[in-house]
Amino acid sequence: MKYSVTVHTREKTYELPLDAGKFTAGSIAVGVDKRVVSDKITLYTVSALGGECYVSLHGKGEAEFCSFNDFCTEEHLFRQSPHNPKAYLFSIDGSPVPMAAAISDDGTDIFISDEPSHCKNYTTQHMIPERREFYLSSGDAGGSPNYKKWREDTYEPENKPYYHDATEKEHVFRFIWVRSDAKTMKSIRRDSFLAIEKTWGEGKGSIYRAMCFGANYMHLRTNETGTSKKWIVPGIQYANCQYQRDSFWQTWILSPEDERQSYLAHEAKGVCGAENPLFFIIWSYRVFSKGGEIFKEMCDIAVNKMFECFSKVGDGRYCPDSDENHAYRNWFDICCFEDDDADAYSQGLSVCALRAAREMGYDIGDRYEKAIAFYKSMFNGEFVPLSVKKPYLALDYSIGDLLHFVLFGETFIPDEQVRATYSHIMNSKAKTPYGTKIVAAPDGEYLPMEAFGAYGKVHPEMAHLDLGRYANGGSYHIYEMLFHIAAYVHGADGALDNMIWRLFVDLDFDGTTHEYMHTIKGNGVKQNQGWNAAIYAIWEILCERGQADRRFFDAAEEKLKTIE
């Protein structure tokens, strides 16, 4: 294989060796600098000034090529953004990590560019196996070769080339060259994450941490709405758009500055929906507790919205806003709740948010004590149910309590309620070979569709979900892991072993974590879902305090080392 630096202008393409140093490409002055990160990783920085252009690492020769997605058998141009923050349903030939690799008998060369925001979200990977070449680029060549549209009525990426304006300010493109012995997609992804962590993270050497950090670091994007310099997307499936709930969890593992940019990105409309006001208050306290400056104007809005949701009934229950179908009141978006119903997940988060607000100086009156009392009253003698009016098993019931413990060192749910709930769920039919159902009937069976409705109606998007998929009995990695961690904190039997088991469910499927596992089909959906990184971050905090067992981390490392 031969590798070179290519400078693309609208008029002509210029190509020089990687060690060319400084050179000119027409009217553009180019400099190539390299820094050895380790014996297997070299960081290259390419700077261009003097006109419109983008630059690439160009590889050509006899080898098998792959993107981060898979081995390439035909030409593809992978993008990291459709450049439309409002596009929820969209078509794009996307890859979660801007990577291209060449596999030969001599070893594997992996090339990974820096996170997409450093190139205004225009990083691309053009794989051309028919010509035995690929480009890892800072810009866009245009077109969508061999792309197969997978959705109807969705946003189509513009097939126009994109050149950065380097007329007055340098355009900078960074990428790493990783030498590896990996030959399979699982091992190539593992070595890629380790290299990302080594170059742009803390470099601790943990494969599990590298997977968590690497995925989220590569989810950073330029915030094209302008409310902050950067923000973070949940995954490649979510275009260039930040979701507050997801970003709250994702930023636990990012640098303080990347977290701050994501925190500052919020607008009032987003802060007020679903459980978002609670998360924003808790996030603000997280910033505050580390000596940072809170976004006071937005925090005021969130606190007022929280008070409004407490005032709907007035007995200490927290009733979030919802849409016209009585859905979208929390992460369980297409499950409908009656307006005066209180779900355990939101009720627990509200307790944590009230404590956070009080610690930041807000006058919360007696709401904190009332919210705790109401939460405790929800226990039915056997378990804490999904909600007051939905007497079902739910894994998300203790998340607010766990956050309260992490942030304030105290729990508010009695040990006996947590242990009883945990034992009931884990000894029921809710546990499957592919994870534990996020919601289930009291005996653990799948719920009938009407259980997800309110006022006699089921949300139309919910009605078409098959059993075991998404919230219809799927197993969510983050929520189940938080469920096990909360149980561990309260001294529940088997919680640590169940944490290890549940992580391995994902890793055994394809070597990474997912949004959820289908509990009947056994397939993982949405690789590298960013919010899963919070599990590593929270467990690390508890370990540093001496409140958790590092056996979980040890098991994760041994498993990831052996995945091929």
Helices (H), 290-366: 296-311, 344-359
Structure tokens at 303: 């606190």
In this prediction, residue 154 carries a pLDDT of 60
In this prediction, residue 564 carries a pLDDT of 78
Span 471-485, average pLDDT: 97
In this prediction, residue 93 carries a pLDDT of 87
Closest by CA to 505, choosing from 554, 434, 426, is 434
In this prediction, residue 158 carries a pLDDT of 62
Span 115-119, average pLDDT: 97
Domain 213-562 sits in CATH at: 1.50.10.10
What is the distance, to the nearest Å, from the Cα of residue 91 to the centroid of all Cα atoms in its chain?
20
Asked if residues 83 and 121 have their Cβ atoms less than 8 Å apart, the reply is: yes
Average predicted confidence (pLDDT) for the chain: 95
**Tens of pLDDT along 286-306?**
999 999 999 999 999 999 999
Can you give 396-464 as a three-state secondary structure string?
HHHHHHHHHHHHHCCCCCCHHHHHHHHHHHHCCCCEECCEECCEECCCCCCCCHHHHCECCECCHHHHC
DSSP states of 28-84 as a string?
EEEEEEEEEEETTEEEEEEEEESEEEEEEEEEESSSEEEESSSB-SS-EEEES--S-
**Tens of pLDDT along 69-106?**
999 999 999 999 988 887 776 778 889 999 999 999 99
Residue 153 pLDDT exceeds 60: no
Give residue limits of the domains in the chain: 2-183, 213-562
For residue 282, the surrounding DSSP H or E stretch is helix 276-289
Residue 270 pLDDT exceeds 60: yes
In this prediction, residue 204 carries a pLDDT of 85
Residue 430 pLDDT exceeds 90: yes
In this prediction, residue 155 carries a pLDDT of 57
